[in-house]
Amino acid sequence: MELIVARNREDLVKARAGGDVALVPTMGALHEGHRSLIREARVRADQVVVSIFVNPLQFSPNEDFSRYPRTFDADLDVCRAEGVDVVFHPAVEDMYAPDRQVSLSAGRMGTIAEGAVRPGHFDGMLTVVLKLFNLVQPDMAIFGQKDAQQLALIRRMVADLDLPIEIVGAPTVREPDGLALSSRNRYLSEDDRRVALALSRALRAGAAERTPSRIRAVARAVLDAAGPELDVDYLALVDPATFDEVSESYEGEAVLAVAARVGSTRLIDNVILTLNPA
The answer to whether the beta carbons of residues 237 and 215 sit under 8 Å apart is: yes
149 annotated to a ligand binding site: no
3-state secondary structure of 252: strand
Instruction: Give the separation between CA 216 and CA 213, rounded to whole angstroms.
Output: 5
The catalytic position among 15, 22, 25, 34 is 34
89 counts as catalytic: no
The answer to whether the beta carbons of residues 133 and 100 sit under 8 Å apart is: no
188 annotated to a ligand binding site: no
179 annotated to a ligand binding site: no
31 annotated to a ligand binding site: yes
32 annotated to a ligand binding site: yes
CB atoms within 10 A of CB 107: 15
137 annotated to a ligand binding site: no
Instruction: Give the separation between CA 28 and CA 78, rounded to whole angstroms.
Output: 10
- How many helices (H) and strands (E) in the chain? 9, 9
27 annotated to a ligand binding site: yes
Instruction: Give the separation between CA 119 and CA 127, rounded to whole angstroms.
Output: 14
33 annotated to a ligand binding site: yes
147 annotated to a ligand binding site: yes
34 annotated to a ligand binding site: yes
150 annotated to a ligand binding site: yes
- Cα within 13 Å of Cα(106), Cβ side: 30
The answer to whether the beta carbons of residues 215 and 238 sit under 8 Å apart is: no
What is the bridge-based pairing of β-strands 47-52 and 265-275? unpaired
Instruction: Give the separation between CA 138 and CA 41, rounded to whole angstroms.
Output: 11
182 annotated to a ligand binding site: yes
| Binding-site annotation, residues for beta-alanine | 58
| Binding-site annotation, residues for ATP | 27-34, 144-147, 173, 181-184
| Binding-site annotation, residues for (R)-pantoate | 58, 150
Residues with a known catalytic role: 34
| Binding-site annotation, residues | 27-34, 58, 144-147, 150, 173, 181-184
